[in-house]
A and B are shown apart, each in its own frame.
Chain A
Amino acid sequence: MQEVLKKKSGENRALAPRESRKTIGNINVQNPRMVCRNVNVFYDEKQAIRNVSIDIGRNEVLAMIGPSGCGKSTFLRCLNRMNDTIDSCHVTGEILFDGKNIYDASVDVVPLRAQIGMVFQKPNPFPKSIYENVAWAPKIHGIVESKSDADEIVESSLQKAGLWEEVKDRLDQPGTGLSGGQQQRLCIARAIAVSPEVILMDEPCSALDPIATAKIEDLIEELRTQYTIAIVTHSMQQASRVSQRTAFFHLGDLIEVGSTETIFTKPSHQLTEDYITGRYG
Chain B
Amino acid sequence: MNLGTRKILDRSFTAVGITSILLMAAALLVVVVPIFSGGIGAIFFKGTIEHRKIQYNEFEKGSRKVIDRQIAEVTPYRQEVYRILDAFEADMETMEPAEKRDYLSKYKKVRDIVAHLLGPIPGDPEPILLRYQYGTTRWEKAEESLHDLMFVTKWDYSNPEEMAKQYFVPRADEFAGTALAALFPYMEKNLDKMLLPEQTFYWGFLTERSLDAHIFGGIWAEIQGTFFLAVGAMLFAFPLGVIAAIYFTEYARENFFTSVLRSANSTLAGVPSIVFGLFGLAFFINTIKVSDSKSVLAGSLTLAIMILPTIIRAAEEAILSVPRAYKEASMGLGSTKWRTILTVILPAALPGIITGGIISLGRAAGETAPIIFTAAVSVGATIGVADVFTQPTPALSWNIYNLASEHEAANEIRHVQYGMVLSLISIVLLLNLSAILLRAHVSKKLKG
A residues engaging B (CB < 8 A)? 80, 82, 85, 87, 109-115, 117-118, 120, 122, 124-127, 136-137, 140-141, 173-177, 187, 190-191, 194
- Decide if B60 is an interface residue (CB 8 Å cutoff): no
**Chain B positions within 8 Å of A117 at CB level:** 332-333
Q: How near does chain B come to A178, taking the closest CB pair, in angstroms?
A: 9
Once the chains bind, are A110 and B343 in contact (CB under 8 Å)?
A: no
> In the complex, which residue of chain A has the Cβ closest to the Cβ of B329?
A124
> Which of A80, A87, A140, A176 is in CB contact (< 8 Å) with B335?
A140
Binds A, one of B127-135, B299-307, B319-327: B319-327
Once the chains bind, are B333 and A113 in contact (CB under 8 Å)?
A: yes
**Chain B positions within 8 Å of A173 at CB level:** 448
Contact with A along B328-341 (1 / 0, CB 8 A): 11111111100100
Contact with A along B424-448 (1 / 0, CB 8 A): 0000000000000000000000111
Once the chains bind, are A80 and B347 in contact (CB under 8 Å)?
A: no
> In the complex, which residue of chain B has the Cβ closest to the Cβ of A125?
B329
> In the complex, which residue of chain B has the Cβ closest to the Cβ of A138?
B333
> In the complex, which residue of chain A has the Cβ closest to the Cβ of B339?
A140
Provide the bound-state CA to CA distance between A88 and B428, in Å.
45
Provide the bound-state CA to CA distance between A109 and B340, in Å.
14
Q: How near does chain B come to A143, taking the closest CB pair, in angstroms?
A: 11
Provide the bound-state CA to CA distance between A173 and B339, in Å.
23
Please judge, given known A-B contacts A122-B325, A127-B348, whether A82 and B332 are in contact too, CB under 8 Å.
Answer: yes
Once the chains bind, are A187 and B348 in contact (CB under 8 Å)?
A: no
**Chain A positions within 8 Å of B327 at CB level:** 85
- Decide if B71 is an interface residue (CB 8 Å cutoff): no
B residues engaging A (CB < 8 A)? 253, 323, 325-336, 339, 343-344, 347-348, 446-448
**Chain A positions within 8 Å of B335 at CB level:** 110, 137, 140
**Chain B positions within 8 Å of A122 at CB level:** 325
> In the complex, which residue of chain A has the Cβ closest to the Cβ of B323?
A124
> In the complex, which residue of chain B has the Cβ closest to the Cβ of A173?
B448
**Chain A positions within 8 Å of B253 at CB level:** 87
Provide the bound-state CA to CA distance between A85 and B325, in Å.
12
Once the chains bind, are B332 and A191 in contact (CB under 8 Å)?
A: yes
Once the chains bind, are A176 and B448 in contact (CB under 8 Å)?
A: yes
Once the chains bind, are B331 and A82 in contact (CB under 8 Å)?
A: yes
**Chain B positions within 8 Å of A112 at CB level:** 334
Provide the bound-state CA to CA distance between A122 and B334, in Å.
19
Q: How near does chain B come to A154, taking the closest CB pair, in angstroms?
A: 14
**Chain A positions within 8 Å of B331 at CB level:** 82, 85, 113
Provide the bound-state CA to CA distance between A80 and B336, in Å.
14
**Chain A positions within 8 Å of B339 at CB level:** 140
Q: How near does chain B come to A247, taking the closest CB pair, in angstroms?
A: 21
Once the chains bind, are A113 and B448 in contact (CB under 8 Å)?
A: no
Residue from A82, A110, A191 with most neighbouring chain B CB atoms (10 Å): A110
Provide the bound-state CA to CA distance between A114 and B11, in Å.
60
Once the chains bind, are A194 and B334 in contact (CB under 8 Å)?
A: yes
> Which of B330, B334, B348 is in CB contact (< 8 Å) with A141?
B334
Once the chains bind, are B333 and A120 in contact (CB under 8 Å)?
A: no
Once the chains bind, are A194 and B447 in contact (CB under 8 Å)?
A: no
**Chain B positions within 8 Å of A136 at CB level:** 333, 343
What 8 A-B pairs come out closest when comparing CB atoms? A174-B448, A124-B325, A113-B334, A114-B334, A118-B332, A127-B446, A137-B333, A177-B448
